[in-house]
Amino acid sequence: MPKKLIIAIDGPAGSGKSTTAKLVAKRLNYLYIDTGAMYRAITLLALRNELMGKTAEIIELAKSLKIVLSFIDGETNITVNGEDVSKEIRSFEVNGNVSEISAIEGVRKILVKKQQEMGKDGGVVMEGRDITTVVYPNADVKIYLTAGIDERAVRRAKEFSEKGTDVPIEKVKENLKNRDFIDSNREASPLTKSPDAIEVDTSNTTIEEQVELIIKEFKIVSEK
Ligand code: DC
């Protein structure tokens, strides 16, 4: 029985993490874990309960929520206390507030513990901002995906449009820049490239090339 590995992928919003990670997981028959969805779920509930800006209350809320993440028909499915919030967590409003929630150390502690538990048996492709640095610094394969801001904005605007919301490209770009800044400059585990992660700039590579590169790395590690 081959050893089940942990593949960790980090990178900024729109760098191609989700698409790449999903395909890698499919190829290997591994579990795909979208950790951003968990921060988004807490953000959604904080917005609903009008708790933005109230750190202590948000941490209490995060502690009380039962978040269940699964992967159904190639898509992330997420429930909070039994309610399916998979669609709602992708709204523009959640996008605009999620960086504030994910900068709260107490929230991160709760989610990191949960993520470590989810991947403890291996056989996972986990993506986010701190997977290669904090959640799984000893992951078997560590990847850092990046892409230029213009390319990332085009991708995100297309995603919104496919989901039925047309957001002007400049607005998407502004939101991305804002999130990049908060995600990379926050005190609690900011987005950084782990020195031993393989950096892949996806501005000019196809999804297939990205997937192949990770699978190649996976094979090298598996055969060691
Ligand atoms: O990958 P995403 O766009 O769905 O992530 C949403 C937000 O959650 C992002 O702005 C940063 C935060 N995040 C984080 O801080 N750590 C993670 N492991 C994943 C996401």
- Encoding tokens for residue 53? 């800006």
Query: Of the candidates 71, 127, 89, 134, which has an alpha carbon nearest to the alpha carbon of residue 108?
Result: 134
- Chain centre distance of CA 181: 16
Length of the chain: 224
CATH tag, 6-218 = 3.40.50.300
Distance 36 CA to ligand 1 centre (A): 4
Q: Ligand 1 atom closest to Cα of 135?
A: 18
pTM: 0.93
> What are the φ/ψ torsions at residue 51 (nearest 5 degrees)?
-105, 5
- Per-residue confidence in pLDDT tens, the chain, 224 aa: 678 999 999 999 889 999 999 999 999 999 999 999 999 999 999 999 999 999 999 999 999 999 999 988 888 899 999 999 999 999 989 999 999 999 999 999 999 999 999 999 999 999 999 999 999 999 999 999 999 999 999 998 998 898 888 989 999 999 999 989 988 999 999 999 999 999 999 998 999 999 999 999 999 999 88
Rounded-to-integer distance, Cα 129 and Cα 139, Å: 14
Q: Is 152 in the pocket of ligand 1 (CB under 6 A)?
A: no
Domain residue ranges of the chain, discontinuous segments joined by +: 6-218
